[in-house]
Amino acid sequence: MPKMQTAVSVAADVAGGRRTAGEVCAGALRQIEARDGQIQAFLETTRTDALDRAARLDADIAAGKPVGPLAGVPIAVKDNICTAAGHTTCASKILAGYVSPYDATVVERILAAGGVIVGKTNLDEFAMGSSTENSGRFATRNPWAADRVPGGSSGGSAAVVAAGLVPLALGSDTGGSIRLPASFCGVVGVKPTYGRVSRYGLVAYGSSLDQVGPLAANVQDAALLLGVIAGRDPLDSTSVAEPVPDYVAELADERLAARAGRLRIGIPREYFGAGLDEETRAAVEAALAVYRRLGARTVEVSLSHTPYAIATYYLVATAEASSNLARYDGVHYGHRTAHPHDLLDLYSASRSEGFGAEVKRRIMLGTFALSAGYYDAYYNKALRVRRLIKDDFDRALTQCDVIAGPTAPTPAFRLGEKVADPLQMYLADIYTIAANLAGIPALSIPCGFSVAGLPIGLQLMGPLFGETQLLQAARLYERETDWHTRRPSLGREV
């Protein structure tokens, strides 16, 4: 299998005239054509648009014009992020054939930085799920084992990076949807602080939880993409005007040396209890030992409301989803039933035909939690517990700079293993969901493999706008290990 170049080196080669963006783009499209069939991670490629854009970039470079930090880098985009090129479907039948009239702000920023978007990736319908099996199209396979899920909901984006089809992809994370697939596929995934990255053009699921973030094969590439997409956007009033650091520069050796000796790592005891797979526990503990060897101090911290995180999330997220998904009514967007009897039937038949089972379940749960008579008992209560969860993190982060633990309780599970039991599926997010409720940044990096050869992820969480220290801590570990350099051979089963 060809060794994939990093995004940083592709951009340097293209900007320096050693390769053309056209060659790089054609190469990525060839790889996708030859190998995506084995993982089924792309919903579509945007070949013509990508090749045009690459050619224009090459013309700019030939004319001596300045190019951005992503010059010529092929990038895949999760299909709940609007792109004017190709379709935006959220892997839902209700949006089949939908063409967005505009690019999401994150997409605009990627294009302005010279990135070349090559296609849209598969997801759980409307980002609701943990395995990409809830896609309204087809299931994506884990590149490390064809009979395993890639995680979700950004399973397509994690799988294309892991398989080496593109160096970078965008995902979205409402309760773990970047970090869980990053962990299952052995790549780096970053959920930024709420408000760090614009949500304009991200199809809303749980608006107070959603963030767009990068998936990459290594920490430096993730930092590069995060730096491009981060920052205030006048089109998203929840985006924050906090200055964007040069995340890549912050990973320079001297910056890391300054960080290593004084790093305090909090270890939440609630993240190492029952339900944690033994191989995952061992890999995470070995990672903590690497940090100690580097001079970091580890302290035990408590996130005592952890047992309530999943229940809280499934009230808040479904309440917001039930409201956000009301817009798909058969009138304004997407699928419309063929022969409605009357207006009500138009709404209900269009929605019944267009939404999949999990999306319907969430709309019903959310509508119930928000209904008169139950609002206080469920939704309001959940908001209060959400605050307690946030307070846990605030307290813990006075004792440490980053909090470390497993990203997921187990390595990738088998396709079909949890589809019949939604509650089991929800438990896959037990360690990731609290960061969304608290709004804090978190990332997952590869920290080992199970005996069966499945990747294991280490999660790091930090204070609001603490992306720099998270990336630095991740890079400190990555420099000591070679997990991130291993690549799967597609088609294997374990």
Whether residue 153 lies in the annotated active site: yes
Look-up of token digits 């990332």: 443
Beta-carbon contacts of 365 under 8 Å, excluding residues fewer than 6 positions away, are: 314, 315, 318, 322
Of the residues 177, 407, 444, 468, which one makes contact with ligand GLN according to CB under 6 A: 177
The closest of 153, 112, 159 to 133, measured between CA atoms, is 153
Q: Look up residue 86 and give its two tokens.
A: 């190709």
Of the residues 31, 83, 142, 153, which one makes contact with ligand GLN according to CB under 6 A: 153
Of the residues 72, 86, 129, 266, which one makes contact with ligand GLN according to CB under 6 A: 129
Whether residue 489 lies in the annotated active site: no
In whole angstroms, what is the distance from residue 64 CA to residue 46 CA? 27
174 binds ligand GLN (CB under 6 A): yes
Of the residues 8, 11, 57, 128, which one makes contact with ligand GLN according to CB under 6 A: 128
The closest of 208, 206, 232, 227 to 216, measured between CA atoms, is 227
The closest of 221, 222, 152, 209 to 183, measured between CA atoms, is 152
- In the sheet that holds 211-216, the strands lie side by side as 42-45, 116-121, 74-78, 168-173, 211-216, 188-191, 442-449, 455-461, 402-406, 264-268, 297-301
Instruction: Number of residues interacting with ligand GLN: please give it, by CB under 6 A.
Output: 13
Nearer to ligand GLN, 321 or 470 (CB): 321
- Catalytic residue (choose from 100, 130, 131, 177): 177
Closest separation in Å from C-beta 97 to ligand GLN: 23
Between 467-480 and 253-260, two packed helices, what is the crossing angle to 10 degrees?
A: 100
Closest separation in Å from C-beta 431 to ligand GLN: 12
Nearer to ligand GLN, 49 or 236 (CB): 236
Of the residues 14, 50, 317, 456, which one makes contact with ligand GLN according to CB under 6 A: 317
Q: Where are the alpha helices (DSSP H) in 82-239?
A: 105-112, 155-162, 179-185, 219-229
215 binds ligand GLN (CB under 6 A): no
7 binds ligand GLN (CB under 6 A): no
Within 10 angstroms of residue 376's Cβ, the number of other Cβ atoms is 9
The closest of 203, 191, 25, 171 to 102, measured between CA atoms, is 203
| Residues 334-363 contacting ligand GLN, CB under 6 A | none
175 binds ligand GLN (CB under 6 A): yes
- Catalytic residue (choose from 92, 135, 153, 239): 153
79 binds ligand GLN (CB under 6 A): no
Of the residues 68, 115, 176, 455, which one makes contact with ligand GLN according to CB under 6 A: 176
Whether residue 177 lies in the annotated active site: yes
Closest separation in Å from C-beta 432 to ligand GLN: 8
- Given the DSSP bridges, would you call strands 442-449 and 188-191 parallel, antiparallel or unpaired? antiparallel
Task: Please identify the residue of the shown chain whose CB is closest to the bound ligand GLN.
Answer: 177
| Residues 374-433 contacting ligand GLN, CB under 6 A | 429
Length of the chain: 494
Question: Residue 288 belongs to what H/E stretch?
Answer: helix 278-293
Closest separation in Å from C-beta 317 to ligand GLN: 5
The closest of 174, 181, 156, 49 to 454, measured between CA atoms, is 181
Nearer to ligand GLN, 82 or 85 (CB): 82
130 binds ligand GLN (CB under 6 A): yes
Residues that bind ligand GLN (CB under 6 A): 127-130, 153, 173-177, 205, 317, 429
Catalytic (active-site) positions: 78, 153, 177
